Amino acid sequence: MAVKKLRPITPGQRQRIAPTFEEITTSKPEKSLLAPLKRSGGRNNTGKMTMRYIGGGHRQHYRIIDFKRDKHNIPATVKTIEYDPIRTARIALLFYADGEKRYILAPEGLKVGQKILAGSKIAPEVGNSLPLAEIPIGTIIHNIELQPGKGGSLARSAGTYAQLLGRESKYAILKLPSGEMRMVLLSCYATVGTVSNGDHFNETIGKAGRSRWKGRRPRVRGVAMNPVDHPMGGGEGRASGGHPRSRKGLYAKGRKTRNKNKHSQRLIISRRKK
């Protein structure tokens, strides 16, 4: 999973650093696992714009991903590695022994034809999903549940992973991609390995039009607005705009927003790196 520098034939290609897609094995998704993906354009049910800078974009289908991995002890064969337009990671199509098909997040190193499993008392190999209580200390994992049976919600984007540091009572101690250390119930499931497409952070889109294809419209800086439109607007010349804040006046860039009374606060051992 590498990136390539394009020949500067056009201005957009001059800065472009694109993925090679060498791991992709097919361009046709499994139709039974597709769902419609409706775009709102940032408008609510009355047509009023409630979210700015959203609109346009290429038509897409949602791929139904199995984050729960709840088909336990049924072997599955990796049929294809595919591109997913709405997420940074690659996805893998599994054919289960009972005939069912499902998509999962493809971990780094997963190959077509490989057999993988989910459940208790199985080998902690790449692509296998098992409870945190049975994963060896120091293992690299992804797609981690926060509540048993809810489905993976941590370490799901391209190239991310968490590390199992230890166990204490009924909790596992994890180091998350952000640097945060927290406790998660040992009965929660996680998948062994690192999420695929680790070179995603090296990509450069090259031109503004590529953001438009993704449904992102140009974003106006607050300091470029008038005082009536933004707290940081106005001033003679290129004024700095004062302390960074949102359009509603809430401080940004550094102000803590996490609720101190949140029930999971006690499970966090150390916060993420500043």
Same domain, 10 and 125: yes
| Structural domain boundaries enclosing 259 | 224-265
Same domain, 232 and 191: no
d(CA 65, CA 103): 5
Q: Tell me whether residue 270 is in a domain.
A: no
Q: What is the pLDDT of residue 256?
A: 82
Same domain, 246 and 159: no
Which of the residue ranges 4-18, 146-160, 243-257 would you say has the lowest mean pLDDT? 243-257
Q: Tell me whether residue 209 is in a domain.
A: no
Same domain, 105 and 234: no
Q: Tell me whether residue 142 is in a domain.
A: yes
For residue 115, the domain's CATH number is: 2.40.50.140
Same domain, 235 and 193: no
Same domain, 10 and 142: yes
Same domain, 105 and 233: no
What does the pLDDT average to over 81-108?
97
Which of the residue ranges 127-141, 187-201, 236-250 would you say has the lowest mean pLDDT? 236-250
The total of structural domains in the chain comes to 2
Same domain, 232 and 101: no
Same domain, 171 and 257: no
Q: Tell me whether residue 272 is in a domain.
A: no
Q: Is 80 exceeded by the pLDDT of residue 11?
A: yes
Q: Is 90 exceeded by the pLDDT of residue 252?
A: no
Same domain, 234 and 194: no
Q: Tell me whether residue 219 is in a domain.
A: no
Q: Tell me whether residue 215 is in a domain.
A: no
pTM value is 0.92
Q: What is the pLDDT of residue 1?
A: 65
Same domain, 194 and 242: no
